[in-house]
Chains A and B, each alone.
Chain A
Amino acid sequence: MTAVARVLLVVLGTAVPAAAQPARTPLRGAGPAIGGADRAPARAGDRAPGRAIVQERSRLTIEPAGQAITRLSIENPLGDVRVEGYDGTAIQIETHKVAPDEDALDRLHISLIPNPDGTVAIKTTADGGREHQPVARAAVRIDLVIRAPRDARVEALVGSGTLEVANMDAGGDLDTGSGPISVRNVQGEVLTHSVSGLTRLVQVFGSVDAQTLSSDLDLDTIGGDRLIASVHHGRIDGRRVRARDVELTTTDGRIMLEAEAALRGHLVVSSFRGDVDVQLRRHGAVTVRARGTKVDLGTQSRAQSNGWVEAAISAGDRALIETALVELRAMRGNVRFAIIESRP
Chain B
Amino acid sequence: MTTCETIQPRLTAYLDGDLDDERGSVVRGHLRECAACRQLAREEAALRDGLRVLPPVDPPPSLWAGVAARLAAAEVADARKPRWRRTVARLARWAPWPPTMPQYAAGAVLAAAAVVMLYWRTQRADEQLAAGPAVVVPVKRMPEPPPPRPLPSEAIDPAAVAPAGDDVTADLRAEPARTTASYDQVIEELMKLASEARPAWGDDQKAAFDTKLVALRSGIARAAPGRTQQRAQRALIRYLQNAVVRDDVVLASRGAR
Contacts and interface: CB of A to CB of B under 8 A. Distances in A.
A104 B160 contact: yes
Contacts of A40: 60
A211 B238 contact: yes
Nearest to A230: B241
Interface in B45-61: 60-61
A271 interface: yes
Interface string A251-275: 1000000000000000010111000
Interface in B137-186: 154, 157, 159-164, 166-172, 175, 178-179, 182-183, 186
A251 B187 CA distance: 12
A177 interface: yes
A26 interface: yes
B237 A232 contact: yes
A191 B255 CA distance: 10
A136 B254 contact: no
A193 B167 contact: no
A228 interface: yes
Interface in B198-242: 227, 230, 234, 237-238, 241-242
25 contacts: A26-B60, A40-B60, A52-B61, A52-B65, A100-B157, A107-B169, A128-B170, A129-B169, A133-B161, A138-B159, A139-B160, A139-B168, A159-B175, A177-B178, A193-B234, A209-B255, A211-B237, A232-B189, A247-B254, A251-B241, A268-B246, A271-B245, A272-B193, A272-B244, A272-B245
B69 interface: yes
Given A101-B160, A230-B237, 9 more contacts: A77-B172, A78-B168, A100-B65, A134-B167, A139-B159, A228-B254, A232-B190, A251-B189, A251-B245
A312 interface: no
A136 B160 contact: yes
Contacts of B254: 228, 247
Nearest to B231: A193
Listed from nearest, the 3 A-B pairs whose CB atoms lie closest are A128-B169, A100-B160, A136-B162
A66 interface: no
Q: Which of A177, A213, A250 neighbours the largest number of chain B CB atoms within 10 Å of its CB?
A: A213
Nearest to A177: B179
Nearest to A196: B182
Given A52-B62, A249-B246, A232 B172 contact: no
A191 B157 CA distance: 39
A270 B255 CA distance: 14
Main secondary structure of the interface of B (DSSP, over half): helix
Nearest to A272: B245
B60 to A, nearest CB: 6
B66 interface: yes
A232 B179 CA distance: 15
A126 B154 contact: no
B23 to A, nearest CB: 43
B179 A195 contact: yes
Given A51-B159, A251-B241, A126 B172 contact: yes
A102 interface: yes
Contacts of B171: 136-137
Contact of A134 (B163, B175, B179, B227): B163
A69 B219 CA distance: 33
B250 to A, nearest CB: 15
Nearest to A195: B182
Interface in A263-290: 268, 270-272
Interface in A89-124: 100-104, 107
Nearest to A157: B227
Interface in A27-66: 40-41, 50-54
A331 B245 contact: yes
B62 A41 contact: yes
A136 B193 contact: no
B238 A136 contact: no
B234 A134 contact: no
Contacts of B242: 249
A317 interface: no
Contact of A135 (B160, B183, B193, B244): B160
Interface in A71-95: 77-78
Given A54-B60, A159-B175, A228-B254, A213 B167 contact: no
A40 B172 CA distance: 26
Interface string A292-334: 0000000000000000000000000000000000000101000
Given A195-B182, A211-B234, A175 B227 contact: yes
A159 B172 CA distance: 9
